[in-house]
Amino acid sequence: MSALKIFRDLFSHNGEFAIGLVLLLVVLAVAACSFFSPYPPMDVYVVPPDVPPSWEHPLGTTSRGQDVFWQLTFAIRNTLLFGIVVAILSRIISLFIGLISGYKGGWIDRVLMSINDTFVVIPLFPILVLFYFIMRDQMSWALLAVITALLGWAYDARLIRSIAMSLRTREFTRQAVFSGMSTGKIVLQEHLPFVLPIVFSTTMNNINWSIGIEVTLSVLGFTDINTPTIGGMIYWANQHAALVSGIWWWVTFPVVLVIMLFIGLFLLAISMNEYIDPRSRLSRLGGQA
Amino acid sequence: MITQLRPMPPSLEMRAPQTAPLLEVDRLKAYYKTQLFGVDREVRAVDDINLKVNRNEIYGLAGESSSGKSSLIKTVAGAIRPPLRVVEGSVRFNFKDGERDIYKLSPQELSAIRWSHLSYIMQGSMSVLNPVRRIKHAFVDFALPHVNAKGADFTNLVERHLKRVHLDPAVLQAYPHELSGGMRQRVTIALATVCGPEFIIADEPTTALDVIVQKGVLLMLREIQQELKSSVLFVTHDMAVHANLTDRLGIMYAGRLVEEGRTRDLFKRPLHPYTAHLISSLPRIGDEAPKKGLEGSPPSLANPPPGCRFHPRCPLAVDICRREAPPMMEILPGHRAACHVAQADPTRVETVG
């Protein structure tokens, strides 16, 4: 079955997938609009400030003289990119650690898993805030992505390790060892295809998680506030007391868009899960797994 | 399902092979050694085994579960990992391009002889194929590094070989779950024989199949063996399969080889009481007498009984059996057994069973 056909079937038979996909496509379309923006994202006072939504400015303008819609296109693009970069980086780490640890076992497993467990239990948010206070002006968007990725791989590494441990005892692994395949080849060619669907599903949750981190940090101003992001927009709105002075559109639209992104990714993740794990499909039909 | 004994090929009829045996296992001892919480445990899965496998021969290895069959062949294949360790003895192969002692080779040399000289059909070979990869990838992963062919040449080689085992080359594009059990078994055998190995180890390759498919797979295995002129070490606890397939047969009991000879001789005239019991347990057409089971169960290999390991269950056991382990001795031409009673008087064993 080709990937396209799977997509079509999921879309027509799985409501969650359909809604999730539509929401995600809307968000992606908004992000894509940033390439056609008439205003540079960093410039202020390019339009009259505090204009409510109108034909000319569909989502209104901010107190800093920026068009909310075009500002939003840049913000969502950066936020989404942040989530994807974090997800990819942390996926690479968790795949590497999980597969090696599960396949090798022994002291390698013990060392890697004690590091892993350390990352599971350390409180994330204070550490990120701490990083901001240490780095201050050097705290760029890319650096924050790397730090978040370094903190966000541990849960999945454990999940992948448990799968790799079961794969290690299967006959085809023994056959591969007997035929003289190296550890790297066994892990990459024989075991990676098994974990990829699961990784695919957790990736979307990880994007959600990292966007949540980023929004929280930038709402509080603990990031590089000059790069337009969803959190950054809310930060500036708070700075100008937008809600008090009745500029509700400055806060509402970024929040609505990021919620759409959250829900879209979440629905995609659970419908993917259902596609990957036939047992959850069965329980949905009322059967017993 | 036993029907009749396979007629013996004339080449094996009552004469010693002219060339050196392909495989020589010499006083091999391989134990599982573990040390947990300060307690040492030693399980003597392979204990002092001598055997030879000639060229162009199917050597069968029989014995009940936990008699050390699988440990022995893993040791012979050099595919052991801790806690199983070789304690003593050697495993030597006389391949066409030179003699090799498996436990004196570097990992690279060992990997080089695998598949091309020595291949292994794994136990539970239904699951030897990776379920998420196409069959062609299994060939590429396992066999490609061991042959002198690349790209289209390799594909041709594999396709020709698949036709030889009566499989459509289209299976290369399939996933394992799309094939039937018998086809999957053929694919695994094709995988093990594609490089034309001189020595093939088969660990219960047909256990999960029904008798009809089993017969087809066994015939195919024999066909391949005769075409490649290779030797096969065939392990199963199914005596009927041994009777139909193997040229010579070794019987294992509690980690030791207790009897060895031409399959035909062994079935006709077993020299060890254990073998006699095994054979008398097989159903025979026209025989309506109820079958008697052998009392007791095989001993723990961590703490085997002294003397002959079979003596607690042996109806013929005499005093010496409880004290001294019998050596493996040639009693009839080409027929060895480790039994004090049979060594004194080979006719006594016939009363058993």
Q: Is residue B8 predicted with pLDDT exceeding 50?
A: yes
- The residue range of the domain holding A190 is 3-284
Kindly state whether residue A174 falls inside one of the protein's structural domains. yes
Residue A49: give its domain's CATH number. Answer: 1.10.3720
**Residue B75 pLDDT more than 60?**
yes
- Is position A109 within any domain? yes
Residue-wise pLDDT tens digits, A100-140: 999 998 899 999 999 999 999 988 888 888 888 888 777 78
> How near does any CA of chain B get to the CA of A84, in Å?
27
Rounded to 5°, angle at Cα B273 from B272 and B277: 120
**Cβ contacts from A onto B, under 8 A:** 54
Q: Are A179 and B122 an interchain contact pair (Cβ–Cβ within 8 Å)?
A: no
Contacts of A178 in chain B (CB under 8 A): 77, 79, 114, 120, 122
The winner for highest mean pLDDT among A192-196, B259-263, B297-301 is B259-263
In a domain, A289, yes or no: no
Angle CA B13–B19–B21, to nearest 5: 85
Q: Note whether residue A211 is domain-resident.
A: yes
Contact indicator for B233, B205 with CB cutoff of 8 Å: no
- The ipTM, to two decimals, is 0.74
Q: Hey, CA dihedral for B291, B294, B296, B297, is it positive or negative?
A: negative
pLDDT tens for A202-214 read: 888 899 999 999 8
pLDDT in tens, B80-125: 887 888 888 888 888 888 888 888 888 888 888 888 888 888 876 6
Q: State what percent of residues in chain A have pLDDT above 70.
A: 95
- pLDDT category of residue B15 using cuts at 50, 70 and 90: very low
Residues 6+ apart with CB under 8 A from B137: A189, B130
Give A 163-192 residues with CB within 8 A of chain B. 170-172, 174-181, 185, 189-190
pLDDT band at B9 (very low <50, low <70, confident <90, very high): low
Angle at B70 (CA atoms; ends B1, B296), nearest 5 degrees: 70
In a domain? residue A246: yes
Q: Considering the entire predicted model, what is its pTM?
A: 0.76
Give me chain B's average pLDDT, please: 84
Are B23 and B199 a contacting pair, CB within 8 Å? yes
Question: Which of B112, B122, B145 shows the shortest C-beta gap to A175?
Answer: B122
At residue A286, the pLDDT reads 63
B168 C-beta neighbours (distance < 10 Å), count? 11
3-state secondary structure of A62: coil
Q: Work out the percent of chain A whose per-residue pLDDT is above 90.
A: 32
Scanning B55-114 for CB atoms below 8 A from A yields 77, 79, 110-112, 114
Query: Three-state SS for B240?
Result: helix
The answer to which of A16-25, A276-285, B199-208, B220-229 has the lowest mean pLDDT is A276-285
Tens of pLDDT, residues A86-98 = 999 999 999 999 9
Residues of chain B with CATH 3.40.50.300: 20-246
Residues of A whose CB is below 8 A from B146: 179-180
Q: What would the CATH number be for the domain defined by B20-246?
A: 3.40.50.300
**% residues pLDDT > 90 (chain B):** 7
**Lowest mean per-residue pLDDT among A176-180, B15-19, B20-24:** B15-19
Higher pLDDT, A241 or B2: A241
The domain tally of chain A equals 1
Tokens of A132: 């901001």
Asked if pLDDT for residue B18 goes beyond 80, the answer is no
Mean pLDDT, range B193-216, rounded to an integer: 85
Q: Which of B109, B114, B130 to mutate to test the interface with A (most CBs of A within 10 A)?
A: B130
